Structure 1
Amino acid sequence: MLDPKIFEDFGARMSALLATGPAADLEKNAKALMSGFFDKLDLVTREEFDVQAQVLARTRQKLKELEARVEALEKARDQA
């Protein structure tokens, strides 16, 4: 049977090799490329999105209230 320690040692060596080899440069370049790509898009943070979602929810609630008020006023006017 194979010793599990062999796999752990192999994994550690591969990680060290990838961290110091060309793969590390590829990862850095990929991150820089993606960062530049995302900077060009009109994106917002999750926090900004959540704030705007709350504002929209309050606006929708206020709109419902105003619509109900207008409907009540129109009914009162038609009955008078």
Structure 2
Amino acid sequence: MINPKKIEEVAKQLSENLPSGLKQFAGEFEERSKQVLQNQLQKLDVVSREEFEVQQHVLIKTREKLEALQAQVDALEAKLNSAE
């Protein structure tokens, strides 16, 4: 999930860096910046850290099972080749 605090920080930094002639519009600019950032970030195909870690754990377990199965296949093939 996208952290709303980070979006607010970025929007605030953008508005603080406006030229002095535009400072009167800083509040509106900050609000619009937040909206634009949120909209664009929602379009990205991203997952939360938690989802990523869960999938990483699943991948590790799957890799372990695959390696164990590969070892079994290798052992069976060796046994079959030695019987010939």
TM-score (norm 1): 0.67
Q: Residues 44-67 of structure 1, C-alpha deviation per residue, up to 9 Å, x if partnerless?
A: 111111110110111111111111
Name whichever of 26-35 and 52-61 sits farther off. 26-35
Q: Which residue of 2 aligns with 1:27?
A: 30
Q: Post-superposition shift, 1:23? A: 2.4
Q: Post-superposition shift, 1:25? A: 2.7
Flag the structure with more relative contact order, 1 or 2, with Cα contacts below 8 A and sequence separation at least 6: 2
Q: Post-superposition shift, 1:33? A: 0.7
Moved >2 Å (runs of 4+): 21-28
Tell me, yes or no, if structure 1 residue 79 matches structure 2 residue 82.
yes
Kindly report which structure 2 residues correspond to 1:29-44, keeping only aligned pairs within 5 A, or say none.
Answer: 29-44=32-47
Give distance in 1, aligned partners of 2:81 and 2:37.
Answer: 61
Gaps of 5+ in 2: 1-15, 17-23
Q: What amino acid does structure 1 have at the position aligned with 2:26? A: A
Give the total of aligned pairs: 61
Kindly report which structure 2 residues correspond to 1:1-80, keeping only aligned pairs within 5 A, or say none.
Answer: 22-80=25-83
Q: What amino acid does structure 1 have at the position aligned with 2:30? A: E
Gaps of 5+ in 1: 1-17
Higher-Rg member (1/2): 1
TM-score (norm 2): 0.64
